[in-house]
Every structure is written in structure tokens, then in C-alpha cells.
A and B are shown apart, each in its own frame.
Chain A
Amino acid sequence: MQAGKLTQRSEGKGAITEPAWVRYLLITAALAFLALFLLMPLAAVFVQALDKGWEAYLEALKEPDTISAIRLTLITAAVCVPLNLFFGIVASWAIAKFSFRGKSFLITLIDLPFSVSPVVSGLIYVLIFGLQGWLGPWLQAHDIKIIFAVPGIVLATVFVTFPFIARELIPLMESQGREEEEAALTLGASGLQTFFRVTFPNIKWGILYGVILCNARAMGEFGAVSVVSGHVRGSTNTIPLQVEILYNEYNYAAAFAVASLLALLALVTLAIKTVSEWKLQQSISVAGKER
């Protein structure tokens, strides 16, 4: 009897099936948590932003300081993402396809920005480039501004967002091995041909995934940027900093209107991420089948 019962259970709904009420309890708890801490705040952003109607919403976005903040944010992302895309591909290529001394050290180094508080990342740059910093006097003598200026914001953002693309690509490229590249080389392909015709098509969804995550973080970074920006209105404020300023001035509708831009960005990111993750899974499972 018991043996029959056991086989039935493992053949039926999987060996680790819980009673129905446990499953529903767990699912409800997870959904309630998500609703309370994610969906409600997200909805609140849009409700607050549109509190005084569309007119006021658009008016808040048209304000010159806000437009300047949007422009700076776009510039920062436009510099950071390509830089990190390049470094990310180079680093993960080196790590996945070659074996060399200090490889694990390099991986740790790539992860460093993840483990350091963004405020500390900002302070590092102040220490190096600030007036009292190591390079401060020299920079001042040559009239180069880094801290409390756009270059500082870009540097801090590059630092914070560095791991996103590399971290995405390293496991993917490692799982794919290097036999396809070797095959391309024996067939007479040059290094560049091998990259663009063999490697790139295999990692493109991973790259897209990394790029959108990196972009979302580059646009939304607050801590590190806050330290190096100096909060000069209309000049060194990014969107997150502008939101904070508006909020501190009790200008809630405007603050939430600007914040809704970031929330919108998050939703778009989420959508692209879902698609690219799905495609990524597909390319991995194809790779798995081929082994």
C-alpha cells in the first residue's frame, strides 16, 4: 500500500508537493508583500505626479532646471553605457576565453563596486580629484574641473555601474566555452570576424540585458553622484538629485512628476529585461542541448 502511494505521489505532482493551503498561503504572502512594497509605491508615484492634473504635470517637466537635469542624466548614461559595454565585453572575453594569472583577482575587482557603498564610491573621487585631494592642486592649476562638474558625475557613475555588463556576460560566455571560436579560427576567420560572426550573436541577448540594467542604474544612481555633484541647480543636478531638491522644497507634485520619469524608465527596463531574459534562456538551452 505504502509503496504504491509513494510512487503515485512522485509520479503525480512531483516529490516535493505541499498541501494546497500551504501553497496558497505562500503565494498570497508573496503577492501581498510585492503589492505593499512595490506596486503601491509605484502607483503612488503616478497618482501624486498627476495630482494636479496633466497641465501641472507637463508644466513641472518643462521647468528649465528639470530639463537641464534630464539632459545631464541622458549625457551621463550616454557616456557610461558605451564605456561599460566596451570594458564589460573586453573583461568578460578575457576571463571566459583565456586562463591567466590573477584571473580570480580580476573577477573580485569587477565585483568591487557592488560591495562598496555608493557614497564611498563618490568620496573616493573627491579624495582623488577634489580641491584637497591628490590631484586637486594640479587640476586647479590647469583649470580642469572634475568634482562638482559633469566629469565627476560621469566618473562616479561609470564606477558604480561597471559590474553590470561584465557580470552578465562572464557566466554566459563561460557556459558557451571557446570551441566555436576555435572552430572559426581553424576555418581561417580573423579575430574580428570571429567576434562579430561567432561570439557576438551568441551573447547579444546577454549584452542587451546588461546594457539595460547598466542604463537603469546609470540614470537612477543617487549616492555616488550626490557626493561629487555639488547640487548646482540647472548645471550639475541629475534627475534623482532634482527629485530630492524639489521634494525638500515641499514641491510634491513637481517632485513626483520628475520621479515618474524614473519610474517609467524602470517599467520599460523591466519589459525589455523580461524579453531579453527569455531570449537568453533560449540561447542557453540551445547551447545545453548541443553539448
Chain B
Amino acid sequence: MSIDIEGISKTFGGFTALDNVSLKVPSGELVALLGPSGSGKTSLLRIIAGLEAPDSGRILFDGEEATKRQVQERQVGFVFQHYALFRHMTVFDNIAFGLTVKPKKIRPGKQEIRDKVNKLLHLIQLENLADRYPAQLSGGQRQRVALARALAVEPQVLLLDEPFGALDAKVRLELRRWLRRLHDEIHVTSVFVTHDQEEALEVADRIVVMNNGRIEQQGTPSEVYDHPATPFVYDFLGNVNLFQGRVHEGTAQMGGLNLSSPENASAHDAPAVGYVRSHDIAIERQAGDPGAIKAEVRYLLSVGPLVRVDLLLPDGNRTIEVDLTREEAERLQLTIGEQVFARPRKMRVFVDDYQI
């Protein structure tokens, strides 16, 4: 089922959670709503589910108006960050709940319910825990039960609110890969909320980046990562270095560098900010290259497969971060205090809007 969100706004007291948001979720896609806390992503998810009513705007399911539909009629599966399992019911009864509350006329028989729950237990690989209570399960197991419970009623849309947020790092990684595989199998239209960019990049077909109740950018993971549309998206996705400078008719001057910036061809000597990802900077020993800045090595830190280098710029008070691969670091053999040259391989320049 496709979802159309048209001009949704929502305020809580004086706080604007959503500001005229429009979004299309095509049928069968797995879409991530990504943003910092307070960006409105959870509010949007709850409005799609019908747990919250928008102040204005419309929600369409498969082109049909659904704004006024009750939660129960929307046929959505909702997975909560803190699982929200029924604590006094066993795993089996939790999963069966949605089936047993159906009106008598369309309620499946006992045997049918049992078969279905067993099938779902198999799907979430918890067949032998059917008689346990939620308190006896680990976080990852609980969230899988919550997912099975939501899937039991065969929802048209699956909505997940920070589904892995309360889990520890390793379980989170396992579970999100499992969710991705599951989605490839059952193809139910899914929207999940996260503040973890890595999670969004790994799991989603499409990412919607939200900030301050608005959508900043939407696109495939590689689109939003490689071509961020706004400074915010640049900042939010990945590690980024900022350079202050000016831009004039397509040429930017940033901390002693001259760069061509064709997307700002119409700018006239405007203040600008350049964004460079920390892995898009090369470190060199020889000057030679005009596109490189002199800098001093301040710190070296091994972070898993990467080596993080802090460089002090010649002005003496700004540093930039550079991520090198292990091989590069071993080839360079950097020492703290030595002079090197940093060459941004890729920089995106935005005219500074905040200046008047």
C-alpha cells in the first residue's frame, strides 16, 4: 500500500513538531525517517498510524483519504522503541493478540491462530520461547516478538519507531540486517524512524532527512550521502569538516584554497561555508599541489579500521579531522607535531544563508 502525506502540520503547545510536510511512500518500499530528536520524525510516524491527529493536512492510503480513520481501521503494524509487549501475556499470546481481538465473524479459528503464531515464531527464530513472559526475554528477543505481533494481523503498512534504539550495539546490527532481509521477503510498505545515520544508510531503500519539523532531503542512501542538498544534511550524515570563506561567481576561496564551485555561479562575493567529509581529505608530505593546505599533526587515534588524524591549521586555532585507512596511515608513518599538507578531494560549498 502506498502512503501519501500532504501538507501535514502539527504543533504541541507552542512547539512546532511538523511544518507542512509532504511525502510519498511508494508501495513495498522501506523508508527511513532520519533526523535528530525533536525533528518531528516520530510525530509523523504516529500521525501515519493514527495515534496522533494532525492539525492540518491529509494522509492518503493507496490514494484514499485516511486522515479521519481510527487507528484500528488503518491496518498498520506499529513497533515501539520500548517494545510495548503485553507484560502479563506469554510470547504466544502476545503474537496472537491481534488475531484474537478480531470481531467474531472474521476471527480465525483456534487451530488457525495457533498455526499462524507458530509460523511467526519460526520466522523470528523463537519457537522454543513461546511460553515465556516478556520480562524473561532479552531486548533483541522482545523486539522480534513485537515485530511478529505486528505482522500477525498482516498489516498494509509497517511502522517502526526507533525499533533498535534501546538495544546494545551488536544486537542492533544483527537485528537491522535481519529486518532488511525480512523486508526483502515480505515486501510490506515500511516506514522506520531513526536518529542513527548508519542504520538508515544500511537498511533503507530511501532516506528522508528531517530537521525542525521539515524535510531537508529525500533520496536513496547514496544520493543523500554523496550529494547532500543542504548544510544540515552534510552535517548530520557522516563526519564533516567546515571551512569558512567566500564565494564569487563560481569560485570559492576557503582557508587559502581556490576551488571551482559551479553550483554557486550566481553568487557575488558572498560569505560561504565549505563542507568536506573527513575521509575525503588526503594527507601528503610534498607541497607541490596548489589545492593543499599546510597543517600540523596534533593527535593520532586508532578507531577500529580507521586512523583519525587531527590537523591544526596554520591560523593556529582551528583543527580539521581526517580519517585515514590503516594502509594509508602505515604508508605515511605520521608523527605528532610534523608539518603535512592536507588536500580536500571533494568539497561542497554552500552560501552562508544566515548572514544578511
Residue of A nearest to B81 (CB): A179
Q: List the B side residues contacting A108 at CB < 8 Å.
A: none
Decide yes or no whether B153 CB sits under 8 A from chain A: yes
Per the bound structure, the CA–CA distance linking A190 and B150 in Å amounts to 16
Q: Given A190-B72, A286-B87, A290-B134, answer yes or no on A182-B78 (Cβ-Cβ < 8 Å).
A: yes
Decide yes or no whether B182 CB sits under 8 A from chain A: no
Contact of A198 among B77, B86, B133, B142 (CB under 8 A): B86
Q: List the B side residues contacting A182 at CB < 8 Å.
A: 51, 71, 78, 80, 84
**A179, B134: Cβ atoms under 8 Å?**
no
Decide yes or no whether A268 CB sits under 8 A from chain B: no
Report how many residues on chain B are interfacial, defined by Cβ distance under 8 Å: 30
**B84, A187: Cβ atoms under 8 Å?**
no
Q: List the A side residues contacting B153 at CB < 8 Å.
A: 187-188
Per the bound structure, the CA–CA distance linking A188 and B50 in Å amounts to 12
| Stretch from B96-104, B249-257, B303-311, B345-353 forming part of the interface with A | B96-104
* Chain B: minimal CB distance from A258 (Å): 42
**A183, B87: Cβ atoms under 8 Å?**
no
* Chain A: minimal CB distance from B340 (Å): 46
Contact of A189 among B77, B83, B87, B101 (CB under 8 A): B101
Per the bound structure, the CA–CA distance linking A182 and B153 in Å amounts to 15
**A188, B78: Cβ atoms under 8 Å?**
no
**A286, B84: Cβ atoms under 8 Å?**
no
**B87, A287: Cβ atoms under 8 Å?**
yes
Q: Given A186-B78, A186-B150, answer yes or no on A180-B101 (Cβ-Cβ < 8 Å).
A: no
**B82, A290: Cβ atoms under 8 Å?**
yes
* Chain B: minimal CB distance from A96 (Å): 16
Those of B127-148 within 8 Å (CB) of chain A: 133-135, 142, 146
**B98, A187: Cβ atoms under 8 Å?**
yes
**B84, A183: Cβ atoms under 8 Å?**
yes
**A180, B84: Cβ atoms under 8 Å?**
yes
Contact of A290 among B71, B75, B78, B85 (CB under 8 A): B85
Q: List the B side residues contacting A67 at CB < 8 Å.
A: none
**A193, B101: Cβ atoms under 8 Å?**
yes
Q: Count chain A CB atoms within 10 A of each CB in B49, B74, B86 and give the residue with the most.
A: B86
* Chain A: minimal CB distance from B256 (Å): 53
Decide yes or no whether B88 CB sits under 8 A from chain A: yes
**A189, B97: Cβ atoms under 8 Å?**
yes
**A290, B98: Cβ atoms under 8 Å?**
no
Decide yes or no whether B76 CB sits under 8 A from chain A: yes
Report how many residues on chain A are interfacial, defined by Cβ distance under 8 Å: 22
Decide yes or no whether A184 CB sits under 8 A from chain B: yes
Interface string of A170-209 (1 = CB under 8 A from B): 0000000001101111111110010001100110000000
Q: Count chain A CB atoms within 10 A of each CB in B72, B74, B142 and give the residue with the most.
A: B72
**B82, A187: Cβ atoms under 8 Å?**
no
Decide yes or no whether B206 CB sits under 8 A from chain A: no
Decide yes or no whether B149 CB sits under 8 A from chain A: yes
Interface string of B41-60 (1 = CB under 8 A from A): 00000000101000000000
Q: List the B side residues contacting A287 at CB < 8 Å.
A: 87
Decide yes or no whether A289 CB sits under 8 A from chain B: yes
Those of B141-173 within 8 Å (CB) of chain A: 142, 146, 149-150, 152-153
**A190, B101: Cβ atoms under 8 Å?**
yes
Q: Given A179-B82, A180-B86, A198-B86, answer yes or no on A187-B135 (Cβ-Cβ < 8 Å).
A: no
**B98, A188: Cβ atoms under 8 Å?**
yes
**B101, A179: Cβ atoms under 8 Å?**
no
Q: Given A180-B84, A180-B87, answer yes or no on A197-B72 (Cβ-Cβ < 8 Å).
A: no
**A286, B135: Cβ atoms under 8 Å?**
yes
Q: Given A182-B51, A183-B78, A289-B135, answer yes or no on A188-B84 (Cβ-Cβ < 8 Å).
A: no
Contact of B82 among A188, A197, A286, A291 (CB under 8 A): A291
Q: List the A side residues contacting B71 at CB < 8 Å.
A: 182, 185-186
* Chain A: minimal CB distance from B319 (Å): 39
Residue of A nearest to B74 (CB): A186
Interface string of A81-94 (1 = CB under 8 A from B): 00000000000000
Residue of B nearest to A291 (CB): B82
**A290, B101: Cβ atoms under 8 Å?**
no
28 A–B contacts from the bound complex (CB under 8 Å): A179-B80, A182-B51, A182-B71, A182-B78, A183-B78, A183-B80, A183-B84, A184-B86, A185-B72, A186-B74, A186-B76, A187-B97, A187-B152, A188-B72, A188-B75, A188-B98, A188-B102, A189-B72, A189-B101, A190-B72, A190-B101, A286-B133, A286-B135, A287-B87, A290-B85, A290-B134, A290-B135, A290-B142
Nearest 10 interchain pairs by C-beta: A187-B98, A179-B84, A186-B78, A189-B101, A183-B84, A201-B88, A185-B71, A286-B135, A188-B72, A193-B101
Given contacts A187-B153, A201-B88, 16 further A-B contacts (CB under 8 A): A179-B82, A180-B86, A182-B51, A183-B86, A186-B49, A186-B76, A186-B150, A187-B97, A188-B101, A188-B102, A189-B72, A189-B101, A197-B86, A286-B135, A290-B83, A290-B87
